[in-house]
Amino acid sequence: MVAPLYTTASGLLFHAGKILVCTVGLPARGKTHVSRALERYLRWTGVKTTVISLGDYRRKVLGGAQKLPPDYFTLGEKSPETIKLREKVLQGCEQQIWDFFNAGGQVVIYDANNGTRERRNAVAEKFDKAGIHVIMLESLCDNEEIIMANIRSVKISSPDASISYRGWDPEQAVKDYYNRIKDHELHYEPVEETKWPFIRIINVGEKIMVNNIHGYLQSRIVFFLMNIHNRFRTIYFARSGQSLIEHSYKADSDLSPAGWEYAERLKEFVLERRAKSLEQRGINPTERRLVIWTSARRRSHHTAWPFLTKGPNDPAPPAKVKVFERPQMSEINPGVWDGLSPEQVRKYYPDEWERFVNDPYAYRAPRAESYHDLCVRLEPTLIELEREKEDLLIIGHASVIRCILAYLIGLPASEIPAIEVARGDLIEVVPTSYGVYSQAHHFWDGPGRAASGKDEHNFYENYAEDTQGKRRPEAKPGPDVDAELATAAAAAAAGVTSSAV
C-alpha cells in the first residue's frame, strides 16, 4: 500500500526474495499477536503476506480439542494414532505455505510453537533448499503479569479453550492452563543456534535481539517489531467539527458555532462511552490517560479543546487527557480541484476526472495528493499508533481516518476512497490478537452532518459514493480473513453504524 506503484515479473518487492518467518515460543507468549500485527504492516507496505497458523489448520482439519486423542497435547510418548494425526497436520500446514509461495506470495509467517531445535530445523531446511530465506522469530516472556494477562484475554477464550473450559470458574481455568504451560517449559529449547537468522522478542517488545538480519525488507520487519506491544487499548475515531469555511483546503478556518457545539458533545460522548468500557474491564477511568491526536489544522485541533477544560457535566475528578498535534495528519491536498463540485470538475477537467473515477486511490489530480501519497505520508503516524499504549482518540479529517482505518482493519488499497466517515459518528476499534473488533456509534445530528456524510464542494476528500460498486477483485476478503474482520471491513466501507445513541 505504501510501496511504489509498480509491479515486477516475480511479484516480489524490495529485491528481498521470499521469506519464511517461523515463530518460536511457549503458549501465551504473544506469538499470534506479533504474527497478526506483522502481517497487517507488511500488507500495508504492499508485500504479499499471510499468516499460516498450525492451530487454526488443526482445528479446521481435525476439529476442536475435544475431538482429539487424550495424549495429543501432552508431552512424552505418543500413541500411533496421535503421531499419525500430528504428522497429517504438519504436512498439510507446510503444503499451505508452499501453495502461497507458488501463487506469488512473498512472506509467510508460520505461527506455531516450534519449541524444539529438531522440529524448527526440519522446517527451515526444507524451505532453505528452495531458495526461501528463513527467519526464526522467538517470543520469550519472563513477566508473570504479561503471561497471566495473555492467558485471560486470549487463551481462555481461544477456540480450543472455550470448549475445554466451558462451565469452569475463570480463575480455576486460568490456573489449569498456566500449569499446562509449565509442563511445556520442561521440554522447550530456546533458539541458541546461529545457523538461521533470528529475532528474539522479550516480554512482547520490552527488549529485542537480532542475529544475521540482511536486506531492506528484513530490516523493516525488525524495525516494526521494535515498536509493538500487546497492552489492551481502544482507538476512537471522530471527524473534526464543522468549520466556518467547509469547502476550502487553503482556508484554515476555525470552527463554526455548530462546530463548537459538536466538539462539546463529542467530549461528553467519548468520556461516557470510554468510562463504561473501562469499568466493564475493572479499570478506573480516572486512573488511565486518554491521548488525543489532531492535525495542525484549526478545525481539528480546536475540536479537542473541550477535553482540556472542565465543564458542568464533567465527571469528578476530570479524566487524564493529553493532546498532540500531528502535522502528518493534515487532510489530503485536492490541488487545483480545491472548492470545486463534481460537476465543475467534469466540465473543466474531463480527462482528469475520467482517470480519477477509474482509480480513485492512485490517481493524483493536478498539484494534488493521491490517496497513495497520503498513505506514504501517514506511515510514521502508523508506527506511532503501534507504539501508543494508552486509549487513543483521533480527531481528524475523513481522508486521514479512511487510511488509518484501512490499516487497522486490513482493507486493500482500492477500498480506501470508498469508506464513508460521517461527521457525528464515533468509530471504536479494539485491536486483539486474533483480529480487530470495530463498531460505530452515532451521537450527532446537528449542522455539518449532511445526509450522505459528505460536503459537495470538498468531494476530493469526501469522495466515496461514486467508488462504491467499482471495487477491484482484490478488495474481496480472502479465505484467511476472520469473519469478524470481514464484517468490520464491510461495515466500514459501507459507512454503516452498528449502534446508535
Distance set, CA 331 to CA 400, 461, 475, 493 (Å):
6, 7, 24, 19
Please answer whether residues 215 and 422 qualify as being in contact, where contact means their C-beta atoms are separated by less than 8 angstroms.
no
Query: Mean pLDDT across the stretch 167-173?
Result: 74
pLDDT for 496 beyond 80 = no
pLDDT for 160 beyond 70 = no
Least confident of 61-70, 297-306, 481-490: 481-490
- Residue 139, strand partner residues: 201
What is the helix, strand, coil percentage profile of the chain, to 5? 45, 15, 40
pLDDT band at 457 (very low <50, low <70, confident <90, very high): low
- Residue 435 has a pLDDT of 77
- Residue 377 has a pLDDT of 95
Which helix (H) or strand (E) is 259 found in, with range? helix 257-280
pLDDT band at 7 (very low <50, low <70, confident <90, very high): low
Give the C-alpha separation, 92 to 85, whole Å. Answer: 11
Here the cell at position 55 is 492451530
**304 vs 456 pLDDT, higher one:** 304
- Residue 178 has a pLDDT of 80
Give the C-alpha separation, 353 to 285, whole Å. Answer: 49
pLDDT by residue (tens digit) across 101-142?
999 999 999 999 999 999 999 999 999 999 999 999 999 998
- Residue 265 has a pLDDT of 95
Question: Which residues contact residue 108 at a Cβ distance below 8 angstroms, ignoring those fewer than 6 apart?
Answer: 19, 20, 21, 49, 50, 51, 52, 97, 100, 101
Q: What is the pTM of this model?
A: 0.86
Give the C-alpha separation, 446 to 468, whole Å. Answer: 26
- Vertex 361 angle, CA 266 and 397, to 5°: 15
Query: Mean pLDDT across the stretch 235-244?
Result: 95
Identity of the amino acid at 100: F
pLDDT for 173 beyond 60 = yes
- Vertex 248 angle, CA 243 and 254, to 5°: 25
pLDDT for 316 beyond 70 = no
pLDDT band at 481 (very low <50, low <70, confident <90, very high): very low
The bridge status of strand 425-432 relative to strand 435-442 is antiparallel
Query: Mean pLDDT across the stretch 344-365?
Result: 92
Give the C-alpha separation, 329 to 395, whole Å. Answer: 10
pLDDT band at 453 (very low <50, low <70, confident <90, very high): very low
Averaged pLDDT of the chain:
84
- Residue 394, strand partner residues: 237, 293
pLDDT for 240 beyond 90 = yes
Give the C-alpha separation, 235 to 429, whole Å. Answer: 5
Distance set, CA 97 to CA 13, 83, 132 (Å):
19, 21, 11
| Number of neighbours of residue 358 by Cβ within 10 angstroms | 10
pLDDT for 498 beyond 60 = no
pLDDT for 313 beyond 50 = yes
Question: Which residues contact residue 128 at a Cβ distance below 8 angstroms, ignoring those fewer than 6 apart?
Answer: 134
Least confident of 178-192, 330-344, 351-365: 178-192
Query: Mean pLDDT across the stretch 159-180?
Result: 69
- Vertex 170 angle, CA 167 and 176, to 5°: 95
Give the C-alpha separation, 215 to 13, whole Å. Answer: 12
Task: Tell me the catalytic residues.
Answer: 111
pLDDT by residue (tens digit) across 420-451?
888 999 999 998 877 788 999 999 988 777 65
pLDDT for 488 beyond 60 = no
Q: Specify the DSSP class assigned to residue 116.
A: S
In 3D space, the residue among 108, 136, 286 whose CA is nearest the CA of residue 211 turns out to be: 136
- Residue 487 has a pLDDT of 37
